[in-house]
Amino acid sequence: MLRSCFSNLFGRSVFAIYISTVTLLAFNTNQKIEAAQEPSTVAQAQSVLDLSQFPLVGDEPRINYREIAGQNYTSKGGVIAVAKEIQKLLKAQQWQEDGDAIITESYASATMQRDGYVLSLSVMPGPEPESATVTIQNHSNVRLDNLPRPDGCETLYATSVVAAYRTDLSVEQTAAECRKRFLDAGWQEHGNTTVGFFVKQNATRVQAFISAAPAQDDKTVIQFSAALMSVDLPCPLDAENSQYSDSTKSLFFESRQSQNDVIDFYKKALAKEGWKTTTDEPFKIDFFDHLIFRQPNLDLIEMEFKNVAGKTQTTVVFQTAAQVKEIERLAKAAILKKKAADDATDKMEAAKTKTFSCPTPAGAKITDESEQRIVYGLAMGKAKSVVAAWLKSIDGNGWRSTTNVNESVVGNFTLINGESEVHVTFTDTGFGDASIEISAFSKTKLKAEK
């Protein structure tokens, strides 16, 4: 029935845009919802129902998100059985049905209320046979029919989840008047869209969807919907293209203010709740500026800034202290796992590494020595014969020699044994002492025998 109402108001194309923001629910207004006078905070809502702790119904649940304000997961079990079990658990916590629930094998939905809070439940068939995908959303405690709107609006319908009104004002006049009345009532701007705007008060976020409706003689229609936020993230007044995701507890927006002005806004707004920056100035990660705020309880907010087409694009992400701790645990585990793998690889490679023993020629002195390079100094005129005798002595011990250069004043040879490789070079110009240099390459280390 909700689909037909939207289609009748706007036509199918506008309905397709809006339906992404509101779960299809039983459309029944018989039960009156008494709401608290002030929109809920996170703590107030959590004391009534914390969906991050609410049981997951069905076998082997695969969690998409599980936050204070909502949860989404897929588990093994039929739609009917899963939906009825969730209803049972909610009713055990004094939640009451708001209107008639719809429970079928192909779809289940229900709206429930307690202490002024509204909860929507949707259960759909999952991707595998005999599986169900569950979505539960807390819509906070606001009465949608009490939200600010222009005088003279005609009520088209008003449920606990969505309400619609018709006015003779233009779309622009309606948006301006609605915005002014929300702000006068203590709501804060929380971003604009092409068809309306968002406002928030405490942890309650309201969307005002404002558009001309062809099915209503092109008169302007206002639609309100509300949702609880799992975290109270503020937003600058001029924010554009605002996108808040409760599943990731993140907020994205664009602002014509400078990056410094956006940072100043957040420093002032978050300071009221004890948030402090961990650094005096932003720091760069992958060419973008970042700034981190922490609370005394170690909750974390990280901000990322990009300058695009003269606007400051900002992403704000909240993580609880427990989530930060878990991320750090996983990161440490990944580092340890990689180190163990690297150590195992090094051990295997070390097992393949051959030690090349280098006897010191008679009368020669070692002038440089390491596992990768040994240099001998000896009397001039002796280098070529010493190297020739030395190569002959190791012939047949698994090493195969290749002559690259072999002159009286200079010589270069390559020794190969499997994957191990050694280079031998001598220089004997007749001016000063001669030298012999031995260099280790692939899977080889040198050892001088003195």
- What's 437's domain CATH number? 3.30.160
Q: Which amino acid is at 176?
A: A
Residue 210 covered by a domain: no
In sequence order, the 6+-apart residues with CB closer than 8 A to the CB of 276 are 293, 294, 295
Residue 85 covered by a domain: yes
Terminal-to-terminal C-alpha distance of the chain: 95
Domain C-terminal end among 120, 138, 156: 138
CB count in 10 Å sphere of residue 194: 7
122 and 135 Cβ atoms separated by less than 8 Å: yes
Residue 176 covered by a domain: no
Query: Hey, what's the torsion of the CAs at 114, 120, 123, 126, to 10 degrees?
Result: -120
Rounded CA separation 281/143 (Å): 42
For residue 43, what are its two tokens? 């703590």
**Which of 161, 133, 139, 163 lies closest to 65, judged by CA?**
133
Residue 435 covered by a domain: yes
Rounded CA separation 449/374 (Å): 11
Residue 221 covered by a domain: no
Domain count along the chain: 2
In sequence order, the 6+-apart residues with CB closer than 8 A to the CB of 263 are 282, 291, 303
Structure confidence at residue 208 (pLDDT): 96
Q: Which amino acid is at 262?
A: V
For residue 71, give its domain range. Answer: 32-138
Structure confidence at residue 362 (pLDDT): 81
Q: How far is CA 160 from CA 27, 377, 446, in A?
A: 9, 93, 80
Domain C-terminal end among 76, 108, 138: 138
Q: Which amino acid is at 153?
A: C
Residue 269, SS3 per DSSP = helix
**Which of 281, 295, 229, 217 lies closest to 68, judged by CA?**
229
Domain C-terminal end among 119, 138, 157: 138
CB count in 10 Å sphere of residue 431: 8
Residue 150 covered by a domain: no
Residue 45, SS3 per DSSP = helix
Structure confidence at residue 390 (pLDDT): 85
Answer yes or no: pTM beyond 0.75.
Answer: no
Q: Look at the block and give the residue holding tokens 């990731």.
A: 248
Kindly state the helix (H) or strand (E) to which residue 198 belongs, with its residue range.
Answer: strand 196-201
Residue 369 covered by a domain: yes
Rounded CA separation 332/338 (Å): 10
- What's 45's domain CATH number? 3.30.310
Mean pLDDT by 10 residues, the chain (450 residues): 43 38 40 62 95 96 95 96 97 93 95 96 95 96 94 93 95 94 92 88 95 84 96 88 91 94 95 92 93 93 94 95 88 91 85 84 89 93 90 81 92 90 93 92 86
**Which of 172, 165, 171, 174 lies closest to 146, judged by CA?**
165
Strand 276-277 and strand 311-319: pairing?
A: unpaired
Residue 339 covered by a domain: no
